[in-house]
Each structure stands twice: as C-alpha cells, then as structure tokens.
Chain A
Amino acid sequence: MKLLTHNMLESQVKTCPEEKRFPLKIVATEIEETEIEFQRSFIINIIPKIDWGVLRGALEEMGLSEKYEIGSKVPENYEEDETFLQLAHHILLEIEIITGKFVCRGTGREFPIENKIANMLLTSEELN
C-alpha cells in the first residue's frame, strides 16, 4: 500500500462514527522503498487533493517523520519547487507497506495488508 492510497481510503464499518472513519491508522511491520517513474503532471495535479495533515500523521505512524520532513502545509508555488515535487513523489508513491495493517479508529477493526495488498472486505454483520 502506498501512502497515496492510504490518503484515499476510509473505514466502512457500520458501528464506526462518521468523523472517525478517515483516516485509517497504519501499523506497518515491513516497509519497502521502491522505484516509481516520476510523473510531474500527476504529482502537480494530485498535491491539492492530498490531505496533508493525514500524510504527516501516516509518516509519523510509520516512524519515518524524521527521515522525510514535510511542513504542515504545501509550500506556495509548489509547481516550480523541484525538490518538493520529488519529495512528494517519493512519499506518495515510492514508500510501500508490504505487510502490516490498517486499523479503524472508531472500532479498532483491523484490515490486514499482505504482499502490498490491503484486505478491506467486511463480514456481513459489519456492513452498513
């Protein structure tokens, strides 16, 4: 799971209150840093859609907040800031959770991640 995807997913457990569904908590046991092709137009387009606070929180939960320092806000004129774009690209797409789990903040329901694949399936009694 990439942090980009973590920024897009929320919990759908029935008993979870609306405000606690997003974001999911990350518990990572194995992290890999892969190499993904840099796509400038994509990064520029996706940055305004990213919840920056959530991204910082995710880095903290994975123990990477010291390695990758990002400010609390997106810098102005980020389109021309090459180092920032590269950093955003690396954090969003190249950090990969191989194994671990997402945890729903409201109910504590765990969604296991294995082989980079998150299992978000719910049982019938947890459905909305």
Chain B
Amino acid sequence: MKYLFVFRWQLLDFVLPELRSLFKLYNLPRPELASETLAEPLATPFHYFDLNDEEAKAIDKICSRSVLIHSVYRVLEQGESLSELHENLKKLPYEVYQKDLYQKTFKFVLYSFNYRWKSKSKYPMFDEIGKCLPHERLGLEVDLNKPDVELFVLFDYSKLGKSSKLVPRDKPRNVYLALQIGCTGFIDTKYGLKRRKFIGRTSMRADLSFLIANYALVKPGSLVYDPFCGTGSLLIPCSVHGAVSFASDIDWRTIKGDQELLDEKKKKETNQNKNKNKNQNENENQNQNQNQNQNQNQKKKGNKKKNQKKSNSKEIDQKRMRLNWEQYNIADKPLEIILMDLTNNNWNSRIKFDAIICDPPYGIREGSKQLGSKKTNEGQSKEIKGSLKYRIPSKKQVGVGELIQYLILFAAKFLNIGSRLCYWLPSRVGFKKENIPTHVCFKIIDVCQEKLSGGNMRNLIIMEKIIEFDPLNSSHLIIKDSNYSFKKKINEKGMSRKKLAYENRKKKMIQKIEKEKK
C-alpha cells in the first residue's frame, strides 16, 4: 500500500540517508530506497513510498526515531488542483469512505507547503471539500474540539526548477486529502541547545546529533563510543535510545572542569566583578550629580542586566557533562567518561564497539591535538606544583588528515562487522565525494553535505565495516587529499587571500607615496 511521507524542508541532503538507515535499523530491506531511483536532492517534501504490511506496522517506530520526517499519511484522494480533487472525491466509491469515516465526527486540518492560506479563504475551501464527501450517507458530523478523525488537506506548492517566483494559489503541484498515520515531534523543543545546561563552543545541534544516532544504527544496548566527545552532545541521543555510551576526550578542562582551576577562575572573576562594581558606583555618583534621572535609570538597568549575565556564566563553569544526562532524565543510562587520547588509546584489542560517532576537532574552534611534545627532546611536561593528580601532559598539533587517518584505523580495529562509523569531514565548497578517505575494511554508505559560511562545508560520512581488520593489510587506507580543512586555499605565492590583499594594499600605498614625492 502506498503511503505519503512528508519531510521537513531542511538538511535536504540528509533526508534519504536517514530513511534508509531507519529501515535498516528495523530490519526492513528497501531496495527501491536506493539513491539511484530517487532524485537527490529532493524537489518536493511530499513522497510516496509503497510499503508492505510489515513496514507499515513499523511506521510508528520510524516516526519515533526520525528527525527529518514531518508526518506520514494514507491518502484518500488527490488531484493536481482543487477542482480536480473535488471531482475525484465525488467519483470515489462509497466503500472507500465507509471504512474510515462511517458515523464519525471529524475536522479538517490544513498543511500547506510553500504557501500560506489566509483564514478568509481557508474556510470556504474546507466547505467545498466537505460538500464533495457523501456526508449524509456516512453520517459525518463536524466536531472541532474532539474529532474522531482528522482529515488532512495537504497542499504542495513547491517550486518547479530554479524559478524564484511564488507558485500562485490556484496552481498547486498537488492537493491531497489524507489521514495521518504518524508524525514526529520537533527535536529542539526538548533537546535544543538553548535550554541545555552544559554546552561548549562546538556542541552539535540537537537535530544533527539525533540524525547521527540514526545513521549509526544506535539501538538499545549498543556499545557506542565518541572519541572526541567534548560536552557529549553526540552521545545524548544515544543514551536517549538506550545505548551504553563511552566518551573520551583529550581536553581535560571540558571533561573534568577541574576544581582547583575552577576555584582560581572564580577568584579572578569575583575580583573583576568587585572592580567593575566600584567603577559602576563611581559612574552612578557622577550621574546623580548631573541630575539626569532618566539616563541614570536606564544605565542602572543596563548594569543590572550585565551583572545577571555574569552570575549565570559562573554557574555554567561548575557544570559537567553528566548534568545534561540529569536534565534529560537519562542518568540511569550507562555513560562512561575517560580522559584519553585517541592516538594513544587504552582500549584492549578484545573490545568491539557497535558504533563510533564523532565530530573531530578541525582546528577552527577546537584545536586538533594529540599527546606528545612539539620538540622531540623536550624535558619534563608541565605540572601544577608537582601533584600527580593535576598533571597536564603536553600536547602537539595534528593535521585533520592525520587525525582522520588515526580515526579510521581505530574504527577498523574496534568495530563489529556491520557496524558503522560516522564522522564529520571539513572541506571547502566543491569537495568531491571521490576524495573521501577509504579503507579496505569499510564501505561508504552515504555522504551528507552541509554548507557553512565562508565557502566552507562539512561532510557527514557514514561508513560500514564489511570485513575484519588484518594488521598485515593496514596499508589499505587510502587518503586522497590530505588537506581536509576549512583553511583558505594557499595560492602560488604561498600566501592566503587575506594576506595577499594586504600585501597588494601595501604596495599601492608605497606607490602612491612615491608618486607624491615626485
């Protein structure tokens, strides 16, 4: 039977990979979902899929996990325009209606994509559709508060081709009258970063982290590992889905929020606040002298706001990763946090994970670091007053390409066969999918690209392990382009574009000065 899937109109590159992953997660092989048969990226959020009974039963489960499905419908009738829908509805045999609508109360619900119906024209439109239904014979009655059935009128006004014109109201692509089978909630309302207690500079957006958990086929009892966990944003959805999560990171400040350092920070902050308060008082005194009541009040308010912000930031400093787990009521799901460097990891080779997901540091907001000193013969590493507890090992810079290499080799060794590795790869716009690093043990399942600002792009790469790692065969890692980074391309002269522009300006200035001298 055919079901109409309506997708959220965002992250279009991610929609079909998610659907494929969810079908795989629930053991429903769908050959026709393969990328060849569907135009990618999507042209419209409305898509029919022919599902068998087993798959139709799984719609609920799929909707409970999905991020990018908006809702799923069983269509009663459709048409390319409203009048066509009216005629089709009149022609529809009575039995089709009888099954769902016999002696029921109902109401119409409108979902219109790419066009906003005004209520003035909306209600007459409902009336006309209502007239086309055999309502007397069915004993249909309208109940706006507690209807038995919600009849969805779906309008598809998606643009054809690249034209930027809005589609006129009377010329939709398609109109559907349908019953809703399943719908998904909006992830951000519960898990959005805005209300999360502990976040960092690179915390992954809630929708993307839930997507990644779907791509990685995380299910209850999966052993999931994030080697660059940061604030743990990628592991929250895994815990929500009941996985056993392992988090590790090299950055001890994010993970531990070390108490001694925190205390020092607090002292500094309180000192700063005191100084600022003094300044503020002085300012206020001056203002009073000038008798400018209005201005003074405004300034006071402004100061108060600033103070409030300060006190909030102090609270944030004391927070830890586990606080998020408490916030989302998933503290009873196993979570292990370890301070560890992936390139010198401590995992016993006997261990196999069910999924490895990560957002490696690209060196923009978080530096890519590994243990070891920059100089080969450097002496002792930094220690805070000799105590072993607070030893800060020295770190050195690693290139993104090198880091990815470590990651893939690690995954090749430590994943179960059939399990997935999902990671983000930075690049410039125009990155070709052929340049993705490959390994003999892995098959690339999907690549989803998201454009960022400034000509940058990140690629979410989903790989599946297909054969066991053979140490003798480790040379089969192929990295085609070792310059995976956001960094601006360096031109022939060995300068970045910014520096080149600066040099040019300098030259012109010198020329100008010389001319003036002449």
Binding site for B on A (CB under 8 A): 1-2, 4-5, 7-12, 22, 35-37, 39, 41-42, 45-46, 49, 51, 93, 110, 112, 114-125, 127-128
List B contacts of A39 (CB < 8 A).
220-221, 242, 244
Whether A35 lies near B332 (C-beta < 8 A) is: yes
A9-B348, A10-B346 known; A121 and B336 CB under 8 Å? Answer: no
Cβ contacts A to B, 7 pairs, < 8 Å:
A4-B334, A8-B351, A9-B338, A39-B242, A45-B221, A121-B341, A124-B371
Shortest 10 CB-CB distances between A and B: which pairs?
A: A42-B221, A124-B373, A119-B339, A123-B381, A41-B221, A120-B340, A39-B221, A8-B351, A123-B393, A9-B346
Residues in A with CB closer than 8 Å to B351 are 8, 49
Q: How many contacts between A and B, using CB within 8 angstroms?
A: 107
- Of B50-58, B250-258, B425-433, the one contacting chain A is B250-258
- Cβ-defined partner of B388 (8 Å) among A112, A118, A127: A112
Q: Verify A37–B332 contact, CB threshold 8 A.
A: yes
Contacts of A12 in B (CB 8 A): 344-346
Cα A124 to Cα B373 with chains together (Å): 6
> Is B320 positioned at the interface, with any CB of A under 8 Å from its CB?
yes
A45 nearest CB neighbor, chain B only: B221
Answer whether A116 and B334 are a contact pair too, CB < 8 Å, given A22-B348, A124-B393: no
**Bound Cα distance A25, B352 (Å):** 22
B residues with a Cβ closer than 8 A to A are: 220-223, 242, 244, 246, 250, 252, 255-256, 320, 322, 332-334, 336-341, 344-348, 350-352, 371-373, 378, 380-381, 388-389, 391, 393-394
| Cβ–Cβ < 8 Å partners of B352 in chain A | 49
Classify the interface of chain B: helix, strand, loop or mixed. loop
Q: List the A side residues contacting B320 at CB < 8 Å.
A: 115
**Given A39-B242, A49-B350, do A114 and B336 touch, yes or no (CB 8 Å)?**
no
Complex Cα gap A127–B244 (Å): 29
**A42 in contact with B381 given A5-B338, A37-B242 (CB within 8 Å):** no
Shortest Cβ distance from A92 into chain B, in angstroms?
9
A117–B393 touching, CB < 8 Å = no
For the complex, what is the distance from the CA of A4 to the CA of B336, rounded to whole Å? 10
Residues of chain B contacted by A45 (CB below 8 angstroms): 221
Residues of chain A contacted by B380 (CB below 8 angstroms): 123
The answer on a CB contact under 8 Å between A5 and B246 is: yes
Known: A117-B337, A122-B393. A8 touches B348 (CB 8 A): yes
Q: Measured between C-beta atoms, what is the minimum distance from A56 to chain B in Å?
A: 17
Contact A127:B371 (CB < 8 A) given known A1-B336, A12-B344, A120-B339: yes
8 Å CB contact of A128 from B256, B322, B344, B393: B344
Give bound CA distance, A121 to B348, whole Å: 16
How far, in angstroms, from A12 to B342 measured CA to CA in the complex? 12
Q: Please, which residues of chain B bring their CB within 8 A of the CB of A119?
A: 252, 256, 339
CA distance A11 to B346 in the complex (A): 6
A51 CA to B256 CA in the complex, in Å?
29
Distance in Å from the Cβ of B254 to the closest Cβ of chain A? Answer: 11
Q: Could you tell me if A51 and B350 are in contact, using CB atoms closer than 8 angstroms? A: yes
**Nearest-CB distance from B333 to chain A (Å)?**
6
Q: Which of B220, B337, B391 contacts A41 (CB 8 A)?
A: B220
How far is the CB of A19 from the nearest CB of chain B, in Å?
13
A117→B250 contact, CB < 8 A: no
B-chain residues with CB within 8 Å of residue A125 when the two chains form the complex:
381
Contact present for B378 and A121 (CB under 8 Å): no
Q: How far is the CA of A95 from the CA of B420 in the complex (A)?
A: 30
**Neighbour of A121 across the interface among B242, B347, B371, CB < 8 A:** B371
B393 touching A121, Cβ below 8 Å: yes
Given A10-B346, A45-B221, A112-B389, residue A36 in contact with residue B381 (CB < 8 A): no
Known: A2-B336, A37-B333, A117-B339. A124 touches B346 (CB 8 A): no
Contact of B394 with A124 in the complex, beta carbons under 8 Å = yes
List A contacts of B371 (CB < 8 A).
Answer: 121-124, 127
Q: Considering residues B256, B322, B334, B373, which has the most beta carbons from chain A within 10 angstroms of its beta carbon?
A: B334
- The reply to whether B372 and A124 contact each other, CB–CB distance below 8 Å, is yes
Contact of A116 among B337, B344, B350, B378 (CB under 8 A): B337
Q: Within the assembled complex, what's the spacing in Å between the Cα atoms of A8 and B332?
A: 21
A120 contacts which chain B residues (CB < 8 A)?
A: 338-340, 346
When distances are taken between beta carbons in the complex, the residues of chain B under 8 Å from A116 are 322, 336-337
CB of A36 within 8 A of CB of B339, answer no
- Residues of B with C-beta under 8 A to A37: 242, 332-333
Inter-chain CA distance A35–B388, complex, in Å, is 32
B348 adjacent to A42 (CB under 8 Å): no
User: Contacts A124-B371, A124-B373 known; A5 to B256 CB distance under 8 Å?
Assistant: no
Select one of A4, A22, A42 contacting B220, CB under 8 A: A42
Which one of B221, B334, B373 contacts A2 once the chains associate, using CB atoms below 8 Å? B334
- Chain A residues lying within 8 Å of B373, measured Cβ to Cβ, are 124
Chain A residues in 8 Å Cβ range of B339: 117-121
CA distance A117 to B232 in the complex (A): 14
Pick the most buried of A35, A93, A127: most chain B CB atoms within 10 A of its CB.
A127
In angstroms, how far is the closest chain B Cβ from the Cβ of A124?
Answer: 4
> B333 to A36, Cβ gap below 8 A?
yes
Q: Which residue of chain A lies nearest to B350 when distances are taken between CB atoms in the complex?
A: A49
